[in-house]
Amino acid sequence: MRNYLFKIKYDGFAFHGWQIQPNGVTVQQCVTDAVRRIFSTDACVHGCSRTDAGVHANEFCFNCKLETEMPCEKMVYALNAVLPETIAVTDCSPVSDGFHARFDCKGKEYVYIINNSKVRDPFLINRAYHYKYKLDEDFLNGQAKAFIGTHDFAAFCAAGSCVKDTVRTVYDFTVRREGERVIFTVSGDGFLYNMVRIAVGTLLDISRGKLEAGSVPQIIESRERSRAGVTVPACGLYLNKVFYGENNDDKH
C-alpha cells in the first residue's frame, strides 16, 4: 500500500464543489468513483481544499493510498479514461505514508478573472465574471497591496462561517490586464470562506467609488463583514496553485 499525490484540473461549472454531498454531483465523488473503477478499491480520497459550486481549478491536489503495481504515468492515463471530460488528472507521484493533501498544504494561489468589456463574451460564460464598468488595473494593483501581510481577515469571511481563527497571511496580491481580461492573483497560507471573492468585490467597489480608495486597512481592522464589498460570483474564481514543502514539487 502506497500513498500517492495526484494533481487535477477541472471546470467547476459542472459541479457542486469538491466535497461529496447528498444532493449534487461533486468533483470528489467523480474522482472516488474513477479510483474505484481503475483500482477496484474504495480508497479514501483526501482533497487539498473545499472549492465551492462553480469554482474552477487549474491545479487541485488530492492523495489516496493504493495497492497497485501500476506506474504513475499509467495511473494518469487510466484515471483520465474514466473521468468526465470536465476533470483531468495532470500528474501523479508517490509521497510519504503520512502525507495529507489538506493538512500538509503550506499555501495556495487563486486567480479571479473578469471579462471587462461592454459586451459579454459567450465563450467566457461561466468561466469569467462579466463586468462592464471600466477598470484601471494599475490603480487596483496598488489598492490590492493593502491585503499583503498577516491580518485578521474576519471582514472578508462569509457570514455564517464557523471558523474560529480568522488570521491569515497573504503573500502577494496583484492585478493585471490581458486585453479585455482583468486578472486578480492572490497567494497566501490559507483563505477563509469566500475571502478571495469578497476581496475582489471590495476592490471593485473601490473602483466604482462605493468604498473609499485606501480603505482596505480600515476594513481589515474593523473585522466587520458589512464594511467590506460585495461577494463576486464563483464563475471567475480558479484555484491556481497548491504549495507544499521541500519534498514536493511546489512550495512558496
Residue 248 has a pLDDT of: 46
Other beta carbons within 10 Å of 135: 17
| Mean pLDDT for the stretch of residues 226-251 | 85
Question: Which residue is listed with cell 499525490?
Answer: 5
- Total-model pTM: 0.94
Residue 251 has a pLDDT of: 39
**pLDDT of 36-89, one tens digit each?**
999 999 999 999 998 899 999 999 999 999 999 999 999 999 999 999 999 999
Grade residue 250 by pLDDT with cuts at 50, 70 and 90: very low
Residue 252 has a pLDDT of: 36
Q: How far apart are CA 43 and CA 117, in angstroms?
A: 46
Tell me which residues are annotated as active site: 52
Residue 214 has a pLDDT of: 97
- Does the pLDDT at position 6 exceed 60? yes
**pLDDT of 123-180, one tens digit each?**
999 999 999 999 999 999 999 999 999 999 999 999 877 788 999 999 999 999 999 9
Residue 246 has a pLDDT of: 58
Q: How far is CA 186 from the centre of its chain?
A: 10
Grade residue 96 by pLDDT with cuts at 50, 70 and 90: very high
Q: How far apart are CA 201 and CA 180, in angstroms?
A: 18
Q: Which of 98, 97, 94, 54 is nearest to 194 (CA)?
A: 54
3-state secondary structure of 117: coil
Residue 126 has a pLDDT of: 96
SS3 content of the chain, % helix, strand, coil (to 5): 30, 30, 45
